[in-house]
Structure 1
């Protein structure tokens, strides 16, 4: 499909765009099934929080209308929405009244090996660490250089995802996913108030677990706690849930709670 810029097909972008110059903006990566954007409400809530935090003046009604129309034309695949602050002259200062720019692009459905879902994956121990910046923590902002550098650390097919720690050595997330531990029947995921991305599938799984009466804990996680977990899995809004069976010398089984939540995520993505 054509890329849209502010609701119109386009194949070019202004060289003055602040997203290009400074990474000044946000993005959402949305699975599309049968012409409908999956988990749309959660994507829109995260986008709204990000716009408020960054003081982006976004036309939210236009975004919803364009997302729905674009998804209907895409039918099946992965839709990416990029919101930038738009054009500016040289310098960091911006006009708070300027309208944010909306960029939509579409791709075919993501193709991952079935083994990732069935047998689980091995995590690569990334040495690239996430910077601590509470002002940007949780946001899916456009500056992804830490993830780019982390993903460049491995080229083999033995590792499907990498584990990222923060500057203090706390376990935070995968390079393109959120991480969960299972311990004594409860679900544990990292506190993302210092760094990391608050994934929409992470939010949905926490909600689903609480609805089922499964204890949930959002807290700091050490490598030792990770190694002592009963089960480990990663998730995102495109592939759902992948069990984790190995990290360095540590091994985990693909356990029942992982399978339960994987089934829920699969049903959501195929809805």
Structure 2
């Protein structure tokens, strides 16, 4: 890919960009710890899958990797890579597109995430429900209006995060994280074949549990399955693996959750 298709956050977005007009593209958010980008290969693999689903040409990943490294320092940072189908004319048709276009932005690492890994977080159960669309399930596409609505509900209730179900009442994820829980020697996490985002840290946790021969069930579960669990965690690429001390009025033992995650999991 021509390096002219890679730009940084200080460059304006064209009004003809399909990401701006239709949410036509994908993004990912990576952790840079001051020395390396975490889970780079997994982020690329998810991009590759999503681009294939959306029929967007694949960029040169080595070029993107070098472009990211060129702007990094020795400080921890949040790196966001945004891939748009590119610029085109009016209408939904994908003919005569100039692209794809890659945009890279950088932000400071949220330092309070380290504290959350020790203290845990409280969750609420959200009223907002996710729509079902199997074709886009698992992708981190640019259509995030549902998450905007969820975030508004969380902010209105002064909640850090919340558990979101789909229209069938099945637990899917949190607003910005995936969720796991532990009960009677078994780990659980929702399957995401109809909606939700297959997070990079979710995939990492699943692989670690499987490599450690831990009993894991990926399926359809209601909120009651979480409320009756022994320990609960949420996770994403930036905050890592964070224990939950409360869902609504149900309390959990953060120390037990921390001990379990330290024994079997690492970010």
Fold match by TM threshold 0.5:
yes
Q: What is the match of residue 178 of structure 2?
A: 178
* Aligned counterpart, 1:193: 193
SS of 1:102's equivalent in the other structure is strand
Q: Where does 1:154-173 land on structure 2 (aligned, <5 Å)?
A: 154-155=154-155, 159-173=159-173
Conservation of the 8 A alpha-carbon contact between 2:209 and 2:264: no
Residue of structure 1 equivalent to 2:64: 63
* SS of alignment partner, residue 149 of structure 1: helix
The answer (yes or no) to whether the contact 1:36–1:75 under 8 Å persists in 2 is no
1:100 and 1:74 map into 2 onto residues whose CA distance is 30
Which residue of 1 is the match for residue 6 of structure 2?
Answer: 7
Is the 2:171–2:221 Cα contact (8 Å) retained in structure 1? yes
**1:158, CA displacement in angstroms?**
5.8
Aligned to 1:50: 50
Corresponding residue of 1:133: 133
For 1:263 and 1:111, the matched residues in 2 are separated by 24
Q: CA deviation at 1:263?
A: 7.2
* Structure 2 length-normalised TM: 0.90
- 1:147-172 CA-to-partner distances (Å, cap 9, x unmatched) read 11011113379632111110111111
Structure 2 portions without partners, runs of 5+: none
CA 1:241–1:158 in structure 2 vs 1: closer, same or farther (change >3 Å)? farther
Is the 2:113–2:239 Cα contact (8 Å) retained in structure 1?
no
Counterpart CA distance in 2 for 1:116 and 1:158 is 16
Q: Is the 8 A contact 2:87 2:97 kept in 1?
A: no
Q: Which whole-Å deviations, capped at 9, do the CAs of 1:234-259 have from their partners, x for residues lacking one?
A: 00000101111111122221254543
Aligned to 1:26: 26
Change (3 A) 1:116 1:87: same
Q: CA deviation at 1:6?
A: 2.8
**Contact 2:34 / 2:77 at 8 angstroms: preserved in 1?**
no
Q: Equivalent residue for 2:86?
A: 86
TM-score (norm: length of structure 1): 0.89
Residue 113 of structure 1 and its aligned partner are, at CA, apart by 5.8
| Compared CA separation, residues 223 and 212, structure 1 to 2 (3 A) | same
RMSD: 2.3
Residues 1:96 and 1:112: Cα distance change in structure 2 (over 3 Å): farther
Q: Is the 8 A contact 1:55 1:96 kept in 2?
A: no
Name the SS for the 1:127 alignment partner.
strand
Residues in 2 aligned to 1:40 and 1:264: alpha-carbon distance in whole angstroms: 22
Check whether the contact 2:87–2:99 (CA below 8 A) recurs between aligned residues. no
CA contact (8 A) 1:125 1:162 kept: yes
Deviates more, 1:73-82 or 1:101-110: 73-82
Is 2:114–2:239's contact at 8 Å kept on the other side of the alignment? no
Aligned to 2:122: 122
| 1:162-209 CA distance string (max 9 Å, x none) | 111101111110100000010112211001000000000000011111
The alpha carbon displacement at 1:224 in A equals 1.5
Structure 1 residue 118: Cα displacement: 1.6
Report SS of the residue matched to 1:141.
Answer: coil
Which aligned pairs between 1:198-237 and structure 2 lie closer than 5 A?
198-237=198-237
- Deviation of 1:74 after TM superposition, in Å, equals 7.1
What SS class does the counterpart of residue 154 from structure 2 fall into?
coil
Determine the C-alpha separation between the residues in 2 that align with 1:33 and 1:253: 29
